Structure 1
Amino acid sequence: MRYNIVSKGDHKSNSIKENMETQMQNTEMIKDTETPEIVISVGGDGTLLEAFHKYSYRLAETAFVGVHTGHLGFYADWLPHESDKLIEEIIDGEYDVIKYPLIDITVNYNDEKNPSQHIALNEATMKTEDNTTLVADVSLRGKHFERFRGDGLCISTPSGSTAYNKALGGALIHPSLRAIQLTEIASINNRVFRTVGSPLVLPAHHYCLITPVDQRTIMTSIDHVTTKHHNVKSIEYKVAKEEIRFARFRPFPFWKRVHDSFISDGRDD
């Protein structure tokens, strides 16, 4: 099996990476940084996001697994002291593949510039460059839904619903549901201006088109990368055809991850 290990870069993560690669020696495992069948992320959820974007061109062939060197993360099944056991499991080659939905993002421009295509594992946000009020028309399935006024909009995946979306008051969605969630960022609601004021959960056969009313520069944040866009006509968000594949060697239910991250104090109930 072809593999690669992506480290956060700190001493602890690098040490674990080196130990894992040593264990891989003299086995049938082959290190391959270009076309790995399995990618091991050592660090935090941010490290796995970086690994995901690095290999986003081969999501159908590559599975991901995480070793978390900080606190427990949503994308990491393994803790540092379990890394030796993980390598044994990988060498055995027996694991289940769990698939999570992604967001497909298309930025359309008013000039002749070709649309830019992006993909997100956690979320994508849309704001103005100078953090002034974003005024944009929101359409669902080609039908105008509302005119939004506020700081911005966040579109999240089910797995990403536990991140920025949760901080905005969005719902937590199980990743088995192929959906995206649209959540407002500090919307303006009064007698003159009105939005729905609640997160919207859209199924895979729906799409969301957001059209800025004026021509201010738009800032998009896609997972960990922020980009400035000029002359934006509209941005379309929908459930991507691609999915991320996780290598699952043991059960780790989504709701247990939620419990351990937000409710558990580290003691047995």
Structure 2
Amino acid sequence: MTAKICLITGASSGIGHATALELVRAGHTVYGAARRVRQVPGGHALAMDVTNPADVEHAVRTVLDEQGRIDVLVNNAGIGLYGAVEDVPLDQARHLFEVNLFGVAHLTRLVLPHMRERGSGSIVNVSSIAGEIALPLGGWYHASKHALEALTDSLRQEVKAFGVNVVLIQPGLIKTEFEQDIREISGRGAYRDLAQAMAERAESSTGGSDPAVVATAIRKVVESAHPRPRHPVGHLARTVLWLNRLLPDRAFDNLVTKR
């Protein structure tokens, strides 16, 4: 196996942290980018906020100056936002899209020309099963991941002729720091009963895969010459996606809103 030059965003915790460790252990050269740069494991740490164009451009320039190429880009950085569509402030919704969609797009646009010139490379976008399904009080988050999935599909079709792989990772329930009390925004107004019910379901649920499960899937994508376009991975990922595809809309709605 040829060692790859990898750039990973959101590498200070959760899936990004686990992926950086997994790829370093496998012998790849890893640049882990994050706002909390001291927590990036192994490899080379880069301070980067994906919503700051100067940070993103500096990170890409640093890797290219030091290594001459970027073989793999893992767009993992992301944030959550939970509350009723009516309740979530639009400035928070816009920031969510800046991180989960436009940050990915900007970094990809900077890396892609170098991959095209070399005729090889892999872009791995970490989405979620939230990119296919929709749950109450997660409308803005789901919308950002639906948009990321559409962008990923179009990009995959566009760059296939240049030898660049574009792959979507769809984690299910994962144990990460990516937590927010669903009652924070909608726990007192018109949607308080729904928020309380959803919060209680989340708090009583068991399971959730370790981020290392996702990291292993990403490593296999990185090391594959012809990876599958989509990789559902982790607790309940395949089950929930199967139910969403199988059930009529109203049946799925009833399933996810029952109390």
The answer to whether TM tops 0.5 is no
Larger radius of gyration: 1
Q: Between Structure 1 and Structure 2, which shows a larger proportion of helix residues?
A: 2
TM-score of the pair, normalised by structure 1: 0.32
Q: Of Structure 1 and Structure 2, which has the larger fraction of its residues in strand?
A: 1
